[in-house]
Structure 1
Amino acid sequence: MTKSNNLAFQFILFLLYSFLWAASADPHQDFITCCLQKSSDPVAFSRVISTPQTSSYSSILNVTVQNLRFTLPNTPKPRVIITPDRDSQIQTAIRCSKKHGLQIRILSGGHDFEGSSYVSDVPFFVLNMFNYRSVSVDAKSRTAWVGAGATLGETYYNIVKTNRSLAFPGGYYPQIGIGGHVSGGGYGCLLRKFGLAADNVLDARVIDANGRILNRKSMGEDLFWAIRGGMGASFAVILEYRVRLVEISKELTAFRLLKTLETNATDLVHKWQYVAPNLSENLLLELSLTVIQSNQTGKRTVQATFVTLFEGGADELVSIMDEQFPELGLVKKDCIQLSSWVEFIIYFYGRPLELTDSLLTSRVSLNPKSYFKSKSDFIQKPIPKQGIQKLWDMMLKIDFPALLMNWTPLGAKMAEIPESEIPFPHRAGNIILVYEKIQWMGTDPKLMQQRIALIREFHSLMGEFVDNDPRAAYADYRDLDLGVNNVGKTSVEQARIWGAQYFKNNFDRLVKVKTMVDPHDYFKNEQSIPPL
């Protein structure tokens, strides 16, 4: 570098430091200064830094946050947000945060139910992977490289645009970020035939606690195993995944049938538990449950919604239902033909199919954001009718907004994959994955406490019908009620309280991997895997 260029470079640094220092009284200004000093391109780095004093801070923080519980004024906010657009910025941020004692939180899509990817009780910065959103599809090899910040919708859109017969077995909600989704397992409408999103990851690029960029070969099989369903943010910054694409039939049929207590919902839900997990792998029969105001009686009633995706035609689907579940009363006019599998994502949420492309690629939340608390369960044997009635009784006692449940049948491919194949262990022996959610309107703390108490009570009731040794939970539906780590050092046995519920016997292997790759626990949150 010539003397004049060096002077110009120093002048740019002086302007940047002066601006940031004037704009921020943040005690962790040293972290920002460190990042700019160590960066090979401080001007570019300065563009991806936001602090509470910069105009972009609030929009960057709140645009991806889906649970409004964590937008309230008393919620701890990050001292700095970095939205990197190159690997070197992440490496620098890791080194500087270590030096200046700033905890890292990694955000890809903002659907962390407990806000652990963007909330902390200690000084922290958020690494928002929004710019890592490229999707590169190779139809010939049936693979794709997907950035951690790409949403499911963006991923699906790019796959179908390349080849309509190829699919990726990820989740339903288009605005979920791939990074977090795969890190906890990731299930969706294709799980009974192809398993989880994490089951279909072939390679990955990550940055570890030492700032090294690693792929599957260089990270080794232990770390590669851990980041596919074992909470990847406990081990590294996920940059991108190479995923396997699966081939799906071009003939696809769907239906949605609504039943209430007045139209035999109790008997149908009871029978569904025996039927749905044992159907062909080509047929997913989802169940959603909530409370509505009955048009027939004017009173509140439970509504059961049966939604299906089938690889095949309407005549064949009706024939299968006539044989396996005649009580449902499916007829051909209830069915709809889909032009592609991604249309089912939109159909599942009751949106017009002609909006498929725009809803997949939009970063605006498909459903209105809300204040909520969620829980999960795995059912091992069908709940008897008396038990179902107990669930209805409590659901009917809960005021509007009603408690919501989604019941996803497992079985088929999910029962064939060994529990230890990836960290997600809930395979054979589990017939249903249950999602429980309660919402509320407004910021009244007393109302929030009441609503959270209600879902805890409901979850306790669900405990009568599931295996409690230990009770199972789904890692992607993070629930801090299960237990939390200490702010400082956390023992493995303390973390096992929540870890065994997510990972069963795989928890011990996750601890070993953590001890090997991050012994000083740099990647830490309320439910991160602790090192020995």
Structure 2
Amino acid sequence: MAATMRGGNNVALAIILLCFTCTNNVFLLPSSSASSPTDDFLRCLSGKIPAEQVFTQSSSGFMAELTSSVQNPRFVTNATVRPACIVAASDASHVQAAVRCGRRSGVRLRVRSGGHDYEGLSYRAVRAETFAVLDLAGLRFVRVRAGDATAWVDSGATLGELYYAVGTANPGFAFPGGACSTVGVGGYLSGGGIGLMMRKFGIGADNVLDAMIVNADGELLDRGRMGEDLFWAIRGGGGESFGVVVSWRLKLSMVPPTVAVFTIAKTAGDGGGGGDAAALLAKWETLILQPFLPDLTIRVVLQGRTALFQCLYLGSGGCARLAATMRAYFPELGMTASDCHDLTWLRAMAFISLGAADAPLEGMLRRTNNLGTYVKSKSDYVRRPMGAAVWSALFADHLASNNAGVLILEPHGGVVGAVVPDMATPYPHRAGVLYNIQYGVFWWGDAEGESSAAARRWLDALYAAMEAAVSGSPREAFVNYRDLDIGENAVVGGVTEYESARRWGERYFMGNFRRLAAVKGRVDPSDFFRNEQSIPPLLQPY
């Protein structure tokens, strides 16, 4: 029998929900003598990319390719602004050809790795425009170098594929990634990448040693050729702003042969032996402040009246040592020996992602959820404990009324908060941050009907109620949880206006935003790589 989590089955579903065929084609161009940008783009690609890897809207495989890694079906309705074509790259030369042909023909590219962009901007546009999707799912090779504990991984690989390759190469190797196995490596690292191991090893982007990027001129550059400013920018500055990163060289971390995990569910308003969830959350907030527990990470998922405490312990001694630590610092949670599992790191990540201690590891290789639910997300950062009264009110006034709403609390501190400076990478939410909040709400039925409106009203009311408890000036947000509600770019004269982008940019990147814009101004002054929340080119001296 599978060893599953204790309680919280609905919450487990919510976690999975938030982790959000080809036919032979030929380039059939219109017979009209007037050539469109799309026609020119396709003509330019001919002979450079196999015809069966380019899908126009008239191709029989177009919709299958478009939806192949879509995690949120909100953005594949008939009202969605779709790409004129999709280029399914399987080699860096295909990326180079797509960039050069796009520049020449005036067709911009939107780049997709795992399809988890919460606003779908990697494969759709908000307003009508002509663009192509460059899909990197075919670029998914992972090469682990055991001798120096590094790995080269293509951007189109998922975190699950990376974990599987790393963990099967050596059970003592690990990489500090996220909890959701279907997230694309390219998108994860481009936004910085937070997760259960960052208190011990830093965020994902802190562990990038090199990268191969195709710049706006179609050149393939490594770290030495791209320069340190651009290398800094791509490790957390958001995707689709500076070029197309096709692969990353990662530093692998060393972990014990077995690590310890548990998942325990508690209920708000339960004053029994297990303690009330609101009081437990208040105690959990104080636990994050402890600087001497970097091996211990407990994230929390809230849904309805339930709080699910998910733990990953990376220290030696496994469950026995973890149980002693919990008795000393968090006895109120009531952890017992039956809650804990001693697992290899790879199996621990499968437990967190898939929900069972003996889940088949091959499940980590599944690339898409295919759940058919719609979702809207937002984010916050918390810099001071909220306390039991605020948590009680949150459950009573918001969470208890909507089982389709979920909050995920990711603790910071440790290495990510006290060792790595705010300006080391574009990810600035370090010193003083207790935890990140990801808000999500799900609905079924019509993508934009009454169910959508009701879900959005609930989320907006919750987000407004949280304002006094979270960071301010600016109210911080996480670029990997993209949210168009906080602002969109304005394009003036064919280039993104800097001031329009500051509204959202300084919430994602704070004091690092201006430097990102200066890098953009140097490497892509014509703003070829852009979307509704891409970094604008700052053309004046930094």
Normalising to structure 1: TM-score of the pair? 0.90
Task: Report the counterpart of residue 136 of structure 2 in structure 1.
Answer: 129
The 3 A distance-change label for structure 1 pair 130 and 20 is farther
Q: Distance between the aligned counterparts of 2:224 and 2:354, measured in 1?
A: 43
Q: Distance between the aligned counterparts of 2:26 and 2:412, measured in 1?
A: 54
Task: Report the counterpart of residue 384 of structure 1 in structure 2.
Answer: 387
Letter in 1 for 2:283: K
Does 1:517 find its partner at 2:523?
Answer: yes
Q: Distance between the aligned counterparts of 2:522 and 2:223, measured in 1?
A: 16
Letter in 1 for 2:71: Q
Q: Distance between the aligned counterparts of 2:399 and 2:529, measured in 1?
A: 42
Give the one of 313, 322, 329 matched to 2:327: 322
Task: Report the counterpart of residue 415 of structure 2 in structure 1.
Answer: 413
1:36-78, CA deviations, whole angstroms, 9 ceiling, x for partnerless residues?
1xxxx45x53121001111111111102010111011101110
Task: Report the counterpart of residue 284 of structure 2 in structure 1.
Answer: 272
Letter in 1 for 2:330: F
Task: Report the counterpart of residue 241 of structure 1 in structure 2.
Answer: 248
Q: Distance between the aligned counterparts of 1:360 and 1:396, measured in 2?
A: 30
Q: CA deviation at 1:231?
A: 1.1
Q: Distance between the aligned counterparts of 1:250 and 1:16, measured in 2?
A: 52
Percent sequence identity over matched residues?
37
Q: Distance between the aligned counterparts of 1:482 and 1:356, measured in 2?
A: 40
Task: Report the counterpart of residue 11 of structure 1 in structure 2.
Answer: none
Query: Partner of 1:272: helix, strand, or coil?
Result: helix
Q: Distance between the aligned counterparts of 1:380 and 1:335, measured in 2?
A: 30
Q: Distance between the aligned counterparts of 2:29 and 2:255, measured in 1?
A: 52
Does 1:485 find its partner at 2:495?
Answer: no
Unaligned runs of 5+ in 1: 1-14, 292-301
Q: CA deviation at 1:419?
A: 0.2
* Max Rg structure: 1
Task: Report the counterpart of residue 495 of structure 1 in structure 2.
Answer: 501
Q: Is the 8 A contact 1:277 1:410 kept in 2?
A: no
Q: CA deviation at 1:16?
A: 4.8
Q: Is the 8 A contact 2:207 2:250 kept in 1?
A: yes
Q: Distance between the aligned counterparts of 1:369 and 1:201, measured in 2?
A: 34
Task: Report the counterpart of residue 513 of structure 2 in structure 1.
Answer: 507
Q: Distance between the aligned counterparts of 1:20 and 1:153, measured in 2?
A: 39
Give the one of 140, 146, 158 matched to 1:139: 146
1:80-131, CA deviations, whole angstroms, 9 ceiling, x for partnerless residues?
0001122232222222222322221000000000011111121110000011
Task: Report the counterpart of residue 296 of structure 1 in structure 2.
Answer: none
The 3 A distance-change label for structure 1 pair 129 and 395 is same
Q: Distance between the aligned counterparts of 2:119 and 2:239, measured in 1?
A: 16
Letter in 1 for 2:459: I
Letter in 1 for 2:228: E
Q: Distance between the aligned counterparts of 1:357 and 1:26, measured in 2?
A: 48
Task: Report the counterpart of residue 536 of structure 2 in structure 1.
Answer: 530
Q: Distance between the aligned counterparts of 1:34 and 1:141, measured in 2?
A: 41
Q: CA deviation at 1:369?
A: 4.2
Q: Distance between the aligned counterparts of 2:403 and 2:322, measured in 1?
A: 36
Q: Is the 8 A contact 1:226 1:232 kept in 2?
A: no
Q: Distance between the aligned counterparts of 1:370 and 1:277, measured in 2?
A: 36
Unaligned runs of 5+ in 2: 1-24
Q: Is the 8 A contact 1:49 1:83 kept in 2?
A: yes
Q: Distance between the aligned counterparts of 1:251 and 1:353, measured in 2?
A: 13
Q: CA deviation at 1:21?
A: 4.5
Q: Distance between the aligned counterparts of 1:250 and 1:458, measured in 2?
A: 42
Q: CA deviation at 1:138?
A: 0.1
Q: Is the 8 A contact 1:318 1:331 kept in 2?
A: yes
Query: Partner of 1:503: helix, strand, or coil?
Result: helix
Give the one of 294, 305, 308 matched to 2:308: 305
Aligned length: 498
Give the one of 102, 106, 112 matched to 1:107: 112
Task: Report the counterpart of residue 172 of structure 1 in structure 2.
Answer: 179
Q: Is the 8 A contact 2:350 2:361 kept in 1?
A: no
Letter in 2 for 1:412: G
Q: Distance between the aligned counterparts of 2:399 and 2:90, measured in 1?
A: 49
378-387 or 217-226, which moves further after superposition?
A: 378-387
Query: Partner of 1:149: helix, strand, or coil?
Result: coil
Task: Report the counterpart of residue 442 of structure 1 in structure 2.
Answer: 445
Q: Distance between the aligned counterparts of 2:90 and 2:318, measured in 1?
A: 45
Q: Is the 8 A contact 1:277 1:409 kept in 2?
A: no
Q: Is the 8 A contact 1:170 1:190 kept in 2?
A: yes
Write the mapping of 1:76-95 to structure 2, written as runs, cut at 5 A. Answer: 76-95=81-100
Task: Report the counterpart of residue 32 of structure 1 in structure 2.
Answer: 42
Q: Which has the higher contact order (CA 8 A, sep 6+)?
A: 2
Task: Report the counterpart of residue 361 of structure 1 in structure 2.
Answer: 365
Q: Distance between the aligned counterparts of 1:395 and 1:356, measured in 2?
A: 36
Q: Is the 8 A contact 2:84 2:132 kept in 1?
A: yes
Q: CA deviation at 1:349?
A: 4.1
Query: Partner of 2:237: helix, strand, or coil?
Result: coil
Q: Is the 8 A contact 1:277 1:432 kept in 2?
A: no
Q: Is the 8 A contact 2:410 2:435 kept in 1?
A: yes
The 3 A distance-change label for structure 1 pair 20 and 398 is farther
The 3 A distance-change label for structure 1 pair 27 and 305 is same
Q: Is the 8 A contact 2:109 2:134 kept in 1?
A: yes
Q: CA deviation at 1:31?
A: 1.5
Task: Report the counterpart of residue 4 of structure 1 in structure 2.
Answer: none
Q: Is the 8 A contact 1:144 1:243 kept in 2?
A: yes
Q: Distance between the aligned counterparts of 2:226 and 2:530, measured in 1?
A: 19
Pairwise CA RMSD: 1.9
Q: Distance between the aligned counterparts of 1:304 and 1:221, measured in 2?
A: 43
Give the one of 281, 302, 314 matched to 2:294: 281
Q: Is the 8 A contact 2:351 2:359 kept in 1?
A: no
Q: Is the 8 A contact 2:191 2:427 kept in 1?
A: yes
The 3 A distance-change label for structure 1 pair 289 and 51 is same
Q: Which has the higher helix share?
A: 1
Query: Partner of 1:211: helix, strand, or coil?
Result: coil
Q: Distance between the aligned counterparts of 1:382 and 1:398, measured in 2?
A: 24
Task: Report the counterpart of residue 455 of structure 1 in structure 2.
Answer: 459
